[in-house]
Amino acid sequence: MAEDELKLLGMWASPFVIRVRMMLEEKGLSYEYIEQDLFNKSELLLKHNPIHKKVPVLIHGDRDICESLVILQYIDEKWSGTGPPVLPVDPYDRAIARFWALYIDDKLLPSFIGFMKAATEEAKAEKIADTQTALELLEGAFQKCSAGKDFFGGDSTGYLDVTLGSHLAWIKTTEIMSGAKLLDETKVPLLVDWAKRFITLDCAKKTLPSVDRVEKYARELQVTRWKVATAN
Partner 1 sequence: MGETLKLFGWKVSPYSHRAEVALRLKGVKYEFIHEDLANKSDMLIRYNPILKKIPVLLHGDTPIVESQVIVEYIDEVFDGHPILPKDPYKRAEARFWARFIDEKVRPQVWMSCWTDGETQKSFIAQVKESLAILQGRLEGKKFFGGDSIGLIDIMACSLALWFGVMQEVVGLNLLNEDDYPELCQWGEEYRNAEAVKECLPERELIVGFFAPRKDRIFAKKAPVYD
Residues near partner 1, by CB under 8 A = 51, 60, 63, 65-67, 69-71, 73-74, 77-78, 91-92, 94-95, 98-99, 102-103, 137
Which is nearer to partner 1, 70 or 176 (by Cβ)? 70
Closest CA to 101 of 199, 20, 172: 20
Q: How far is CA 194 from CA 26, 138, 145, 169, in A?
A: 17, 12, 12, 14
- What backbone phi and psi angles, to 5 degrees, belong to 231? -65, 145
Which is nearer to partner 1, 64 or 150 (by Cβ)? 64
- Rounded to whole angstroms, the Cα distance separating 215 from 83 reads 34
CB of 66 to partner 1, least distance (A): 6
CB of 102 to partner 1, least distance (A): 6
Helix, coil or strand: residue 66: strand
- Rounded to whole angstroms, the Cα distance separating 199 from 211 reads 12
Which is nearer to partner 1, 49 or 178 (by Cβ)? 49
Q: What does the angle CA 71 – CA 106 – CA 122 come to, to the nearest 5 degrees?
A: 145
Which is nearer to partner 1, 80 or 210 (by Cβ)? 80
CB 82 within 8 A of CB 29: yes
CB of 96 to partner 1, least distance (A): 8
Which is nearer to partner 1, 79 or 217 (by Cβ)? 79
Which is nearer to partner 1, 14 or 222 (by Cβ)? 14
87 burial (CB, 10 Å; 0-12 / 13-18 / 19+) is buried
CB of 103 to partner 1, least distance (A): 7
CB of 77 to partner 1, least distance (A): 4
CB neighbours of residue 47 within 10 Å: 12
CB of 76 to partner 1, least distance (A): 8
- Rounded to whole angstroms, the Cα distance separating 33 from 142 reads 31
